[in-house]
């Protein structure tokens, strides 16, 4: 089934998602999913070295996937997929892996190479029309489409924010003091980007001028856990009205034995007000957050933590001040979201289920069979 958008353009009604083996063995598969049950509804497209970056065309009829290495599907470059039939519609060949991609115009895709800079390509002909070298490799990326082009946070030394528009113009802002594991959000209306990392000042970048401002913000590493915090990862979520939800996890190393033991712990969910640069804790035990249908959903990601216990699924008002609903007890969960619904499932336990939740009301719509055991599900919905 398809919907019709402006000028009669056909829009995709089915959800697209990628099933990836958690073990790392085997190929990810792209497939359409039924929004009611999240079960695959059609043919699956086996992907090669998929780099977990994607972007829909402006009319949402096609999908660009960043790929790397030789593979049976597209190989190295950008794979263009017809989102209605889940078949390959084209390819953009590149010399190295594509680690970030943004479909900015109907005939213009911007991509970032693992080595070799950024490029602009025509998805219809597959030709690269502009390429610019960067004096640093692309590593640990976060990217977002903005009114100024594709903004990419690069974990170089120092960290940098690179913005490339559809004409191939490249602008760079240096972000000294930002630690590894940072994340970025964009205020599209004000044309600003914000970068957050544990133990670092927050960075505000004006996307029109690339001017940078530093702000003190309380995002400490997790305290009270025995051991040494070796790495911190933060995820930032733009909530609107100047609010950002910052979550993540800390990896803690404990000595003992020949090899130190490493465990991951959720770092909590905090709200940052970018107008006053004050912070407020929403949930100390959660490690992930999503904005769905105007609600702030928080949970403890099962794939990210060593412990099996979490906070279940907690649904708050957008500003995090009022708890609307608490579901699924104290489980650690994987949560995907699309079209006003949240899909939550546990990776552990004998009675595994997928819970479909109406995000606005917190109503549990149905309980169905979960994704296949041993696979991670990523819904492609922006």
Token reading at 30:
């792209």
pLDDT band at 380 (very low <50, low <70, confident <90, very high): very high
Looking at residue 372, the DSSP 8-state letter turns out to be P
- What is the C-alpha to C-alpha distance for residues 228 and 218, in angstroms, rounded to an integer? 20
CB atoms within 10 A of CB 170: 17
| The pLDDT of residue 157 | 85
Q: Which run of H or E residues covers position 228?
A: strand 228-240
pLDDT band at 318 (very low <50, low <70, confident <90, very high): very high
Which of 98-107, 136-145, 338-347 is predicted with the least confidence, judged by mean pLDDT? 136-145
Q: Are 134 and 162 in contact (CB under 8 A)?
A: yes
| The pLDDT of residue 256 | 61
pLDDT tens-digit series, residues 72-121: 678 899 999 999 999 999 999 999 999 999 999 999 999 999 887 999 99
Pick the more confident residue, 176 or 351.
176
In this prediction, residues 50-57 reach a mean pLDDT of 93
Distances (CA, A) of 218 to 157, 212, 316: 23, 19, 22
DSSP states of 73-87: SS-SEEEEEETTTTE
Token reading at 62:
């096609």
Token reading at 208:
């029109």
In this prediction, residues 169-175 reach a mean pLDDT of 96
Q: Where are the domains of the chain?
A: 139-216, 219-382
- What is the C-alpha to C-alpha distance for residues 222 and 234, in angstroms, rounded to an integer? 12
Q: Which of 121, 12, 108 is nearest to 339 (CA)?
A: 12
- Tell me what the pLDDT averaged over the chain comes to: 88
- What is the C-alpha to C-alpha distance for residues 42 and 238, in angstroms, rounded to an integer? 33
CB atoms within 10 A of CB 14: 18
Residues of the chain with pLDDT > 70, as a percent, come to: 90
Which of 140-144, 160-164, 277-281 is predicted with the least confidence, judged by mean pLDDT? 140-144
| The pLDDT of residue 169 | 96
Half-sphere exposure (CA, 13 Å, Cβ side) for 104? 25
pLDDT band at 48 (very low <50, low <70, confident <90, very high): confident
pLDDT tens-digit series, residues 215-228: 999 776 665 566 67
């Amino acid at each position: 089934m398809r919907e019709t958008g402006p000028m009669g353009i056909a829009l995709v009604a089915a959800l697209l998602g990628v099933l990836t083996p958690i073990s790392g063995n085997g190929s990810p598969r792209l497939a359409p999913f039924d929004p009611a049950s999240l079960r695959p509804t059609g043919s699956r497209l086996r992907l090669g070295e998929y780099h977990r970056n994607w972007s829909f065309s402006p009319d949402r009829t096609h999908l660009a996937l960043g790929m790397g290495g030789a593979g049976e599907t597209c190989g190295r470059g950008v794979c263009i997929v017809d989102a209605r039939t889940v078949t390959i519609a084209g390819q953009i060949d590149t010399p190295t892996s594509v680690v970030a991609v943004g479909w900015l115009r109907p005939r213009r895709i911007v991509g970032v190479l693992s080595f070799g800079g950024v490029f602009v390509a025509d998805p219809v002909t597959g030709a690269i029309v502009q390429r610019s070298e960067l004096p640093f490799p692309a590593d640990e990326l976060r990217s977002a489409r903005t009114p100024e082009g594709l903004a990419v946070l690069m974990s170089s030394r120092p960290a940098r924010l690179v913005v490339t528009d559809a004409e191939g113009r490249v602008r760079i802002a240096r972000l000294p003091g930002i630690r590894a594991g940072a994340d970025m959000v964009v205020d599209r209306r004000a044309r600003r980007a914000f970068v957050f990392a544990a133990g670092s000042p927050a960075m505000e970048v004006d996307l029109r001028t690339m001017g940078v401002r530093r702000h003190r913000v309380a995002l400490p590493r997790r305290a009270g856990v025995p051991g040494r915090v070796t790495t911190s990862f933060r995820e930032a979520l733009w909530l609107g009205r100047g609010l950002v939800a910052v979550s993540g996890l800390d990896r803690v190393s404990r000595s003992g034995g020949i090899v130190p033991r490493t465990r991951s712990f959720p770092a909590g969910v905090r709200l940052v007000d970018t107008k006053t640069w004050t912070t407020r804790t929403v949930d100390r035990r959660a490690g992930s957050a999503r904005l769905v249908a105007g609600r702030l959903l928080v949970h403890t990601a099962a794939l990210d933590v060593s412990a099996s216990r979490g906070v279940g699924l907690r649904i708050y008002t957008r500003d995090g001040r009022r708890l609307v609903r608490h579901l699924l007890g104290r489980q650690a969960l994987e949560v995907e979201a699309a079209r006003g619904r949240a899909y939550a499932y546990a990776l552990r336990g004998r009675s595994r289920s997928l819970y479909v939740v109406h995000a606005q009301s917190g109503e549990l719509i149905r309980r169905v069979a979960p994704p296949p055991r041993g696979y991670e599900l990523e819904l492609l919905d922006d």
